[in-house]
Amino acid sequence: MEFSVIIMMPDVESMNHEDFAGTYPALALTPAASSSDVLTACELGRPDLVVVMETMPEFVVEDMAAVVREIAGFSRHVPILVMRRKSKLEQKPFFLPQGVNDLVTGSFNRDSLVKLLRWWYPLEFPDENATREILRDIDRARTMDDRIIEDLKTLDPDNEGLLDQLLTAFIDDVEKNMCDLQQALIDEFPEDVDCLAHAIRGSTSNLGARRMAEICTTMMDESREGSLKGLDTLFPELRAEFDRSQIYLKHRLVAR
């Protein structure tokens, strides 16, 4: 398995590829110093992740994000992250440039990149260590409602397969609606986005996927205002959160 990662930083020549070598997962790193470099990289192949160092000027980051969104589109949801190095000094307030998914703090190395990939592509890491890490992250972030999950367990106290059927139906239903939502975003149909986000929120709320429901609510609010601006950053998060929710529910709801 190989993941393609674009690294955008001012001093790309200083990056040592040997620092990121490893057997699993394999990382194909593409350094970029400008939006045109990112454009060339995207045209050569779909990146799985774009990481931008905080030292890049904000207007350059926004220009790059626009390039990636235009080329990749919603059907190729590419997470774009700004990385800032750890510092003991008081950090100034930071506002995400338009088109960027998240701000992460940490050292720029192989381990940090693998952790980011596991967060955004959890289903691609089936090993037990990665699964335990995902479960711990969800518990810490409280993106799942454990009270609802415990209530659901009472529906099948003898573990006769009812919860397995419920989870399968949930995954199938949400997966279909996610595909339709993706198309509605591409076609820029606010009414369809509202309807589909509402349907996904209902399904996720019933199984305790708290963060998914919050994202859907935001998408509904924006679409009802007639604007889909900014939803290009929310859809990748919704997709990744759906993958994490599946892993969590399979281990905390079905596996007993």
Choose which CATH entry (3.40.50.1970, 3.40.1390.10, 3.40.50.2300, 1.50.10.10) describes domain 2-120. Answer: 3.40.50.2300
Which pLDDT value is given to residue 87? 53
Dihedral over alpha carbons 239, 241, 247, 252 (to 10 degrees):
-150
**Which mean pLDDT values do the consecutive 10-residue runs of the chain (256 residues) have?**
84 70 76 86 85 84 82 67 68 68 82 86 84 88 91 85 90 93 87 96 95 96 88 87 92 76
Which pLDDT value is given to residue 66? 82
Give the residue among 66, 54, 67, 74 at the shortest CA–CA distance from 9: 54
8 Å CB contact between 138 and 248: yes
8 Å CB contact between 37 and 148: no
Choose which CATH entry (3.40.190.10, 1.20.120.160, 3.40.50.880, 3.90.110.10) describes domain 134-254. Answer: 1.20.120.160
Which pLDDT value is given to residue 36? 87
Dihedral over alpha carbons 54, 116, 175, 194 (to 10 degrees):
-20
Which pLDDT value is given to residue 73? 57
Containing 172, the helix (H) or strand (E) segment is: helix 162-187
Containing 222, the helix (H) or strand (E) segment is: helix 210-224
The pTM of the full predicted model, rounded to 2 decimals, is 0.79
CB atoms closer than 10 angstroms to residue 171: 17
106 Rama sector, left if φ>0, alpha if ψ -120 to 50, beta otherwise: left
| Domain regions of the chain by residue span | 2-120, 134-254
Which pLDDT value is given to residue 91? 52
Whether the domain at 2-120 and the domain at 134-254 fall into the same CATH topology: no
